[in-house]
Structure 1
Amino acid sequence: MAADYSSNPRRQVAHLAWPLILSNITVPLLGLVDTAVMGHLPDPRYLGGVTLGAVLFSFLFWGFGFLRMGTTGLTAQAHGRADEQAVLRLFLQSLLLAVGIGLVLVVLHPVIIPLGLALLSGSEAVTEQADIYARVRILSAPAVLANYVLIGWFLGRGVSRVTLLLMVVNNLINIVLDLVFVLMLGMATAGVAAASVIAEYLTTALGLSLALGVWRQAGWVKIPGVLRDAVGYRRLLSVNSALFIRTLCLLFAFAFFHSQGARLGDITLAGNAVLLQFVLLASYGLDGFAHAIESLVGRAVGAADSLNYRRVIRAGFEWSLVTALTLSAGFWLFGEGLIAILTDLPAVREQARLYLAWMVVMPIVAAIAYLLDGIFIGATRTREMRNTMLLSVVVVYLPLWWVTQPLGNHGLWLSFIVFNAARGVFLGTIFIRDWRRLSQQADERSVPPFQL
């Protein structure tokens, strides 16, 4: 049972957010171990192959991140209505959808893998190792997508510590098996991939056992019509399809940034790669509070509780602002030191320092977009998220990049930063309209039907 911090919305948000922030931090730890293990093998093609293959699956699996987001919003709303049967039905339907998509990916891997590796344009030796990695790693697809659902479902129910548990278990198993398969059994690239596959399925087994515990607490209630519930599946597909398009736009934005950086030269590309670690670091904190808001807003919407909706959003804005200012100050004071830790190449260090100022600005600019994403996911307003993301890419990002090409890499970073600001501005315009409408309601505690 989740602790009740409803009397203190700041503690309510923080209580949900801190396990999510910690779980995010476990992700780069695995990447560091993979790099260290493969980096000690005698041929650099092994490290290159695992790196290239990991990039392919990061993009492939991230594209289906809507399974986590959609499940969180819908589950939180059902939980807010105290409709336990709907909570369980959503879990089963989302899980079936995830496993079905995962199996399709496994079946289509003879097409997906060669196409993806061709787009990444690695050398022949590196691509050969990446292909070995990918043909093993693709077997994890059903488990990876099932874990998205499990994490989203527990988060929707307000049990973020389970998210931390699942992430820690996944990464610890993965790290141990990396060491066993590669260093002890000499499996090289295939060993790293096999470690990931086994870790994902064991994490799924743990998550399912915890979900069954929830079902047991509900008295093993029967969930009729899970397979035949066409309305439920249509709702799931409607929410998730909009999130899918939104995610593809975001993936395109990052891919476009990488490709344009590559056109500016290898040193510029490497410097940008270092600075993108700052972006990743900022996302750990900002995403933690955004994910907490997803759950709390969803529950408020489900319960038609306008008062709590407004209170948790105010708390979310406060925490996000504090986090963004802290990150910006940290990047300003310690950014050069962090660059030195990330690379010992003098030319790359100097290149990254030239554009460090953008990293100081970025958390403050992006914080609003992250938090508003959480609000709109919790309210399952995914069409607005899709539409504003499309506007941000097509109307702001690409035209601004085109105009600022004479500025070189500064123009590229400016376009990327303003793109993130545009996401917040477009969603914020819709949010402010809804906030004003709610402020005009006579009874703040319950405004049924609660349509944001």
Structure 2
Amino acid sequence: MSTDIRDDRVTVRRMLALATSAFLVLAAEPLYLLVDTAVVGHLGAHALGALAIGTTLMALLAIVGTFVEYGTTSRAARWFGSDRRDRAVGEGVQASYLAVVIGLAVVAVGQVLAGPLVHLLTGGSTELRDPAEHWFRIALCGMPMVLLVLAGNGWMRGVQLTRAPVVIVLVANGLSAAASPLLVYTFGMGLVGSAWANLGAQVVAAALFLRALRREAASVKTSLAPHVEVMRAQLVLGRDLIVRAAAFQIAFMVAAGVAARMGAAQIAAHQIGMQLWEFTALLLDSFAIAAQSLVGAALGASDARVARQLARQVARWSAGAGTAFGAAYAAGWWLIPRLFTSSPAVWHQAHVLWPWFVVMLPAAGIVFGLDGVLIGAGDIAFLRTITIVAALGGFVPLTLAAAHWSWGIGGVWAGLTAFIVVRLVGMVWRARSDRWVVLGSG
């Protein structure tokens, strides 16, 4: 790869182009979920609480396919940095095969365990259990499509395609956002209408990503046949990503279970807070996604200086973005909860968790940015370890303590804040070392 091409990939302009593309892609899904939360929220606190249980379980099961997105980005970016676009696209082909196989397995297992899983989170409350299980069983059928979309985003980020994923995701989620209120209210389907709208978006997005992959593979003469060796290598990288994602989701599941046992108002407020937190986290991740691609390409081109420069840059930008989001949410503490529900009890509980939500965001910005740097470098083992330590040493103990000593929903969100702070300390230490700087492709 020529010096001119390599230098072009690390300019501020290129970083902003990748971050903007990632921002739009990442914003589409949580924006749809925010719309869906607002639509369902006006059905009442129990419907919103049931949606919270269902979406928590969907996120839990989706962890088995985490590596088809982040692992594919890391591996494809290194091939792209060493001028092997065909091998980079090939990573996307093999990740798509894995996505389908894993997705079908998750559907089968999830349908069998749907009842017990929902019961575990609701504590047997029929007002939450029955609608949550019905929603979950419908939404679960879209898991193969969910994983295909993750794989599609992964390889496109790796080869630094910026426009196509934006168009695909916006089209699919735009259709679904329009369908949700129609199905829920106009056609009288209630809560399950949101599950069908969600499933429709996943089918459309997966089909569009597969069409784009087939075209790209043909243009660079990449085989569409399965290759066991490549899939095996992706699975090896995926082990640590899955464990890391499992630590996330176990902690979030514990938090949802504790909030559900506090009452309908608490779990409804928790759902609002978590959707806003996930929305903001994904937007902050836009810099992290750019870092994954650019850091992977720089290391693939054996340019350690550029990789370190990118790490510093993305940390600064992410910290600034997190601070800006925190200020915006602080200003909207009264108005924002009212956009999602008309229940005064839910408003009150949302105001209890709000200070924790606002205070953690600047630190979260740095954490998400460095997450992208280390994923792009393939330093997954460290990310696995620090996430487990933060989840089991901070988040879960504080959440369980909130249940035991009746600290309320604020205690649950104190646990989430601790989760961010522990990861911040570990990741800043790691980024300042040279252990993550491993040069070469493949």
**TM, length-normalised to structure 2:** 0.85
Cα deviations by residue, 1:39-66 (Å, 9 ceiling, x for unpaired)? 788x998776666444432332255333
Cα deviations by residue, 1:334-380 (Å, 9 ceiling, x for unpaired)? 33333444454444434443453323321122122211211111112
Residue type of the partner of 1:146?
L
Cα deviations by residue, 1:305-359 (Å, 9 ceiling, x for unpaired)? 2232123223212211211221222233333333444454444434443453323
Write the distance in 2 (CA, Å) between the matches of 1:397 and 1:34: 27
Please name the residue that 1:69 is paired with. 70
Please name the residue that 1:444 is paired with. none
Give 5+ residue unaligned stretches, structure 1: 439-446
Equivalent runs, 1:96-115 vs 2, <5 Å? 96-115=97-116
Instruction: State which drifts further: 346-355 or 237-246.
Output: 346-355
Give 5+ residue unaligned stretches, structure 2: none
Write the distance in 2 (CA, Å) between the matches of 1:135 and 1:403: 32
CA RMSD between the two structures: 3.4
Cα deviations by residue, 1:279-304 (Å, 9 ceiling, x for unpaired)? 23431331111111111111111111
Provide the aligned length of Structure 1 versus Structure 2: 435
Write the distance in 2 (CA, Å) between the matches of 1:250 and 1:416: 10
Shift of 1:253: 1.8
Shift of 1:123: 4.2
Q: Do the aligned residues in 1 keep the contact of 2:38 with 2:341 (CA within 8 Å)?
A: no
Shift of 1:102: 1.2
Write the distance in 2 (CA, Å) between the matches of 1:417 and 1:367: 13
Write the distance in 2 (CA, Å) between the matches of 1:168 and 1:394: 36
Please name the residue that 2:421 is paired with. 421
Q: 1:393 aligns with which of 371, 386, 391?
A: 391
Write the distance in 2 (CA, Å) between the matches of 1:393 and 1:275: 19
Q: Do the aligned residues in 2 keep the contact of 1:13 with 1:315 (CA within 8 Å)?
A: no
Equivalent runs, 1:20-419 vs 2, <5 Å? 20-34=22-36, 52-121=53-122, 123-124=125-126, 127-178=129-180, 191-218=193-220, 220-222=221-223, 227-230=226-229, 232-262=230-260, 267-398=265-396, 408-409=407-408, 410-419=410-419
SS in 2 for 1:335: coil
1:304–1:416 Cα change, 3 Å: same
Instruction: State which drifts further: 80-89 or 123-132.
Output: 123-132
1:357–1:49 Cα change, 3 Å: closer
Q: Do the aligned residues in 2 keep the contact of 1:170 with 1:203 (CA within 8 Å)?
A: yes
Instruction: State which drifts further: 254-263 or 68-77.
Output: 254-263
Write the distance in 1 (CA, Å) between the matches of 2:293 and 2:36: 33
Write the distance in 2 (CA, Å) between the matches of 1:48 and 1:361: 25
Q: Do the aligned residues in 2 keep the contact of 1:5 with 1:12 (CA within 8 Å)?
A: no
Shift of 1:244: 0.6
Q: Do the aligned residues in 2 keep the contact of 1:10 with 1:312 (CA within 8 Å)?
A: no
1:352–1:297 Cα change, 3 Å: same
SS in 1 for 2:235: helix
Shift of 1:209: 1.6
Identity of aligned residues (%): 27
Residue type of the partner of 2:255?
F
1:348–1:401 Cα change, 3 Å: closer
Q: Do the aligned residues in 2 keep the contact of 1:9 with 1:311 (CA within 8 Å)?
A: no
Write the distance in 2 (CA, Å) between the matches of 1:193 and 1:397: 29
Write the distance in 2 (CA, Å) between the matches of 1:362 and 1:46: 28
Instruction: State which drifts further: 50-59 or 403-412.
Output: 403-412
1:184–1:221 Cα change, 3 Å: same
Residue type of the partner of 1:80?
G
Write the distance in 2 (CA, Å) between the matches of 1:340 and 1:450: 50
Residue type of the partner of 1:408?
W
Write the distance in 2 (CA, Å) between the matches of 1:333 and 1:189: 31
Write the distance in 1 (CA, Å) between the matches of 2:268 and 2:176: 28
Cα deviations by residue, 1:131-190 (Å, 9 ceiling, x for unpaired)? 444443333222111111001111111123322222212212323444665566655555
Shift of 1:192: 4.1
Shift of 1:201: 2.2
1:413–1:144 Cα change, 3 Å: closer
Please name the residue that 1:441 is paired with. none
Residue type of the partner of 1:253?
A
